[in-house]
Amino acid sequence: MSMIREVKDESKKEILKRISAHSHIRGLGLDDKGEPIQVADGFVGQIEARRSAGIVVKMIKEGRLAGRAILFIGPPGSGKTALAIAIARELGEDTPFVMLNGAELYSTEVKKTEILMRSVRRAIGIRFREIRRVYEGVVKEIKFALAPHPFNPYTKIPRSARITLSTKDDEKTLDVDQSIAMQLMQFNIRRGDLISIDADSGEVFKLGRVKGIEKAKYYDVETYKVLEEMPKGKIFKEKEIIRTVTLHDLDEAYATQRKAVIASLIGIGGEEREIDPEIRRAVDEQVRKILSEGKVVLVPGVLFIDDVHMLDIEAFSFLTRVMESEFSPIIIMATNRGITRVRGTDIESPHGIPLDLLDRLLIIPVRPYTPDEMREIIMIRADEEGVRLSKDAIDLLVKIASERSLRYSIQLMHPAKVIAERKERDEVKAEDVEEAAKLFIDVTQSVEFAKKWEGKLIK
């Protein structure tokens, strides 16, 4: 059965959407002079940090960041991850972005340096051009057929989808299989999106948004570029596609090929938990060759390491070596710690990072949000997640964000929406937020609960 089939009729099933916490971030929100706009590209405030990040982007584009990395320091929920994502968006839509938490390094199966190396190589892209057959147009209608998740019956995943694409000159309705439907849901494809679907591989690309599509919702803050006019031409066509694969993709392809050869020779297969350094050296040699021939372009991406204080002295030493290597991504770190012990040593250092590595970093402080900025962020997230908030609900959420935390305030929106729906309302009011806040406590209340019932809790 083919992945894509053209049809004429449309189904009537609805979509369940999952919205990323940073899906509204489009860039740093800078003007032509590199100065931050108060509310732009999904950002609110953080003027100084965004101005610093804009300078970093310029340095990266001019090749002036070699041997150095970036460190964002600030309290939880202050926008450190959003700033890292924005830097990647400013560098280009196909710039690889790899997010790693410091705690992810500690695995019993794979060495932490191997996990770091894979992340580093996932963050380095190779861009090339090829002619592909694609379906490309603006989404006029999209319907998903949902089925229970095989491992979690309370979660539904798309089994297939029916999508109508349109241009000024053509319109087609397509039935697509689960692999494409999953991508459509992952990218939050909705009416008004300009997309491209590879007819052979089934890979989906989100190219932008087009204004004027019936029933499509538009916001002041959009993640992708917005086109004023409907594109022209046929839906199904041959097109020159610019693709980006990562060094890790090439590593895995080379390793799989070698494993197949060995298996055919001696009849023994099995998984490799780690990639042989010889394979990576062979891939690097081949990449250098095609780079020198001008067949491809190297695309250094962004490796974002959150909670970097969780790394130990061995991992920090490895990162220092990576920063000096020929193929190195842009390394951005973030932490919310002050003076703390460097893991694996008895030494205390700012942010739990060795001083010799700190000396190589451009350190950008990220301050807490003001109540007015929190209001703007809450309204943006409500629009992004499809939650209608009354004015009194917004006021209460801002109060909760100021007194407790912005993350906790935003997390209350969906429980409050469910409460409102049970009362047969589509607008969330302050009473719904209050009820949700009683049902779901914040970190401070959790600590108080633990102290109160300490004698009954297991230590």
> What pLDDT is attached to residue 405?
85
Distances (CA, A) of 306 to 63, 112, 133, 190, 323: 24, 15, 39, 30, 17
- Mean pLDDT for the stretch of residues 268-277: 65
Whether residue 46 has pLDDT greater than 50: yes
pLDDT > 80? residue 134 = yes
The answer to whether residue 255 sits within a structural domain is: no
Q: Is residue 64 domain-shared with residue 158, that is, in the same domain?
A: no
Kindly report which listed range (28-32, 329-333, 337-341, 398-402) carries the lowest average pLDDT score. 28-32
What pLDDT does residue 263 have?
A: 56
Does 343 lie in the same domain as 381? no
The pLDDT score that the predictor gives to residue 12 is 35
Tell me if 292 is assigned to some domain: no
Residue 111 counted as domain residue: yes
Residue 138: inside a domain = yes
CB atoms inside a 10 Å sphere around CB 375: 18
Model pLDDT for residues 313-370, shown as the tens digit of each residue:
998 888 888 888 878 888 899 998 889 999 888 889 999 899 988 888 899 998 888 8
For range 418-435, the mean pLDDT: 91
Highest-scoring range by mean pLDDT, 21-25, 272-276, 435-439: 435-439
Q: Are residues 354 and 218 in the same domain?
A: no
Domain boundary (200, 223, 242) is at 242
User: CATH code at 202?
Assistant: 2.40.50.360
The fraction of the chain above a pLDDT of 70, given in percent, is 87
Q: By residue range, what is the domain housing residue 210?
A: 4-19+129-242
Segment 75-96 mean pLDDT: 81
Evaluate whether residue 31 is within a structural domain.
no
231 and 149, same domain (yes or no): yes
Mean pLDDT across the stretch 416-425?
Answer: 91
The number of folded domains in the chain is 3
Given this model, what pLDDT does residue 127 score? 86
Which pTM does this prediction carry?
A: 0.64
Mean pLDDT of the chain: 81
391 and 430 together in one domain: yes
In a domain, 443, yes or no: yes
- The predicted pLDDT at position 416 comes to 92
Q: What is the residue-wise DSSP string for 152-209?
A: -TTSEEEEEEEEEEE-SS-EEEEEE-HHHHHHHHHTT--TTEEEEEETTT--EEEEEE
The answer to the question of residue 263 being in a domain is no
Res. 1: pLDDT tops 50: no
Single residue among 336, 365, 394 that ends a domain in this structure: 365
Distance between CA 282 and CA 120 in Å, rounded? 17
In CATH, what number is assigned to the domain containing residue 383? 1.10.8.60
Residues 432 and 333 in one domain: no
* Across 442-459, average pLDDT: 77
For position 218, what pLDDT does the model report? 58
Last residue of a domain, one of 319, 340, 365: 365
Let me know if residue 412 belongs to a domain. yes
pLDDT at 432: 92
pLDDT at 37 over 90: no
